[in-house]
């Protein structure tokens, strides 16, 4: 494969990175440039890649043998797994330059940076050479003409970024999975992170908050204001909303719960009553629940709903009415594989499985883990003293609460695979 001599960096975001054996090692998230004391344009010293465990590492530009529209390929050598940290004389192109408000010298008009090109010289050195700037025409910024300009024909590229917007950065993040977007937010300065978070719609922000460390969740929730925070909490799964509210002082919890719609706040209030580390504190109060006279076809249609997580959609719980938790008497559950083997007209009461004892709200997490592992289950029912279903503990709930508290934090230690290397730093 060959490498183009000029590459627009925003187009690299999200590209897969492969080692010489063809194995994917991560995805490109940004480019690192070093500022120079002369009037020469910034030198590109490497790319930032996100590893599978959400650790961002530095890839020296000299290690990259190929860049094409579909992938970035590394040459041979040891991969440095030390977490990337920007140095004082460096910029991250997408983080620091994208959406920056600048001045187009030739027409002396304001504009917004929408992309930056890096170009390779005959000596093999990469540097920033061209800037794509959208001319700012009143309030309709995005409709302005896009100018392709030499780096030295744009004023305001280097210096304080107080006037930096977020539109193009949001566009780059639009296709990211919530976990990847959460990791990207952790790399931004607090003020810019909060600005990006505030620009997300309620559902998207709720998904991202669920993937962030508790500290960042609380800071973002505080930054968006109470009214918006209540709206976002309503979009979260009740168990995740309860976990987040559990990080706040009780008076603040009550303020936010009062601002939420009653039918959204009630299940969260119930979950907050359970002791930490028990089935009640980690369960979801909204599993898939049907009555025994529902058919297999109805159950399959229910678990096909796209908003359900795989763990929730893996089984249907069967109870007497009412079907909202706490339900009527719990009867058992039906795994989706059993549903696939039964005639569509068969009723759930005839195929229900009730030979595994449900959990109690007070069942401790180690016991839950042991029982789920013993029976190879992805979810277990939780019933109260009156044999009513009050929720279900899923395998992702167990993992989330079994891992170290800082496992979502990008600063947490990363397990090292032998042979990959740990020393160095970057360029």
What tokens does 42 get?
């910034």
pLDDT digits (tens, 9 = 90+) for 55-70: 789 999 999 999 988 8
Sign of the dihedral defined by the CA atoms of residues 378, 311, 315, 389, in that order? positive
Give the residue-averaged pLDDT of 188-209.
89
Please give the full DSSP string across 204-236, using - where no structure is assigned. Answer: HHHHHHTTS-HHHHHHHHHHH-HHHHHHHHHHS
332 sits in the region (left: phi over 0; alpha: psi -120 to 50; else beta) called left
Specify the range with the lowest mean pLDDT, choosing from 181-190, 230-239, 334-343.
181-190
pLDDT at 417: 42
d(CA 323, CA 51): 42
What tokens does 70 get?
């579909």
Specify the range with the lowest mean pLDDT, choosing from 188-197, 219-228, 328-337, 370-379.
188-197
Checking if the pLDDT of 220 tops 60, the result is yes
pLDDT at 86: 85
CATH class of domain segment(s) 7-82: mainly beta
Query: Which one, of 223, 226, 167, lies nearest residue 190 by Cα?
Result: 223
Residue with tokens 């998207």: 204
Give the residue-averaged pLDDT of 14-20.
92
Checking if the pLDDT of 208 tops 90, the result is yes
What DSSP state is assigned to residue 176?
S
Q: Assign domain 289-402 one CATH number from 3.10.580.10, 2.40.30.10, 3.40.50.1970, 4.10.320.10.
A: 3.10.580.10
Domain with CATH 1.25.60.10 in the chain: 178-273
Spatial CB neighbours of 284, under 8 Å, sequence gap ≥ 6: 237, 238, 239, 312, 391, 392, 393, 394, 397
Domain with CATH 2.30.30.240 in the chain: 7-82
How do beta strands 6-8 and 315-319 pair?
A: unpaired
**Do 272 and 242 contact (CB within 8 A), yes or no?**
yes
Backbone angles phi, psi at 23, to 5 degrees: -90, 135
Domain with CATH 3.10.580.10 in the chain: 289-402
pLDDT digits (tens, 9 = 90+) for 111-167: 999 999 999 998 889 999 999 999 987 654 456 789 999 999 999 888 765 556 677
pLDDT band at 408 (very low <50, low <70, confident <90, very high): low
pLDDT at 3: 61
Q: Which long-range contacts (CB under 8 A, 24 or more apart) does 263-268 make?
A: 264/233, 264/234, 267/238, 267/325, 268/233, 268/238, 268/241, 268/242
pLDDT at 164: 64
**% the chain with pLDDT above 90:** 58
To the question of pTM greater than 0.95 for the whole model, the response is: no
pLDDT digits (tens, 9 = 90+) for 233-245: 999 989 889 989 9
pLDDT at 377: 92
In 3-state terms, what secondary structure has residue 264?
helix
d(CA 409, CA 54): 9
pLDDT band at 87 (very low <50, low <70, confident <90, very high): confident
Give the residue-averaged pLDDT of 356-366.
94
CATH class of domain segment(s) 178-273: mainly alpha
Give the residue-averaged pLDDT of 159-182.
75
In 3-state terms, what secondary structure has residue 65?
strand
Orientation of helix 214-224 relative to helix 202-209, angle to 10°: 150
pLDDT at 411: 53
Checking if the pLDDT of 405 tops 80, the result is no
């Amino acid at each position: 494969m060959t490498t183009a001599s000029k590459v627009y960096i925003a187009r690299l975001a999200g590209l897969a990175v492969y080692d010489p054996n063809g194995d994917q090692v991560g995805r490109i998230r940004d480019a690192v440039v070093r500022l120079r004391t002369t009037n020469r344009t910034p030198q590109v010293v490497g790319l930032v890649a996100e590893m599978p465990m959400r650790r961002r590492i530095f890839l020296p530009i000299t290690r990259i043998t190929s860049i094409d529209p579909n992938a970035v390929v590394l040459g041979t050598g040891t991969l440095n797994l030390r977490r990337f940290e920007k140095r004082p004389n460096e910029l991250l192109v997408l983080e620091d330059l994208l959406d920056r408000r600048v001045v187009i010298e030739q027409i002396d008009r304001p504009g917004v940076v929408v992309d930056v090109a890096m170009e390779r010289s005959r000596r093999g050195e990469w540097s920033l050479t061209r800037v794509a700037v959208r001319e700012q025409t009143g309030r309709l910024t995005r409709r302005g003409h896009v100018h392709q300009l030499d780096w030295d024909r744009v004023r305001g590229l280097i210096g304080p970024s107080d006037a930096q917007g977020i539109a193009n950065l949001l566009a780059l993040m639009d296709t990211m999975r919530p976990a990847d977007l959460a990791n990207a937010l952790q790399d931004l300065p607090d003020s810019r992170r909060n600005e990006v978070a505030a620009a997300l719609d309620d559902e998207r922000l709720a998904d991202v908050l669920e993937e962030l460390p508790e500290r960042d969740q609380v800071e973002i929730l505080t930054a968006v204001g109470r009214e918006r925070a209540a709206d976002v909490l309503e979009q979260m799964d009740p168990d995740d909303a309860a976990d987040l509210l559990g990080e706040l002082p009780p008076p603040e919890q009550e303020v936010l719960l009062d601002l939420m719609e009653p039918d959204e706040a009630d299940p969260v209030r119930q979950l907050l009553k359970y002791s930490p580390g028990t089935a009640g504190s980690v369960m979801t109060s909204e599993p898939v629940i049907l009555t025994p006279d529902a058919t297999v076809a109805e159950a399959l249609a229910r678990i096909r709903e796209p908003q359900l997580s795989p763990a929730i959609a893996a089984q249907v719980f069967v109870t007497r009415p009412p079907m909202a938790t706490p339900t009527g008497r719990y009867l058992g559950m039906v795994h989706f594989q059993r549903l696939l083997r039964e005639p569509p007209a068969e009723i759930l009461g005839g195929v229900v499985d009730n030979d595994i004892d449900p959990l109690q709200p007070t069942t401790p997490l180690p016991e839950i883990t042991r029982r789920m592992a013993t029976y190879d289950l992805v979810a277990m029912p939780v019933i109260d003293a009156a044999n009513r279903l009050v929720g279900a503990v899923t395998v992702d709930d167990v993992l989330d609460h079994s891992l170290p508290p800082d496992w979502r934090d990008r600063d947490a230690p990363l397990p090292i695979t032998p042979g990959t290397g740990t020393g160095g730093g970057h360029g």
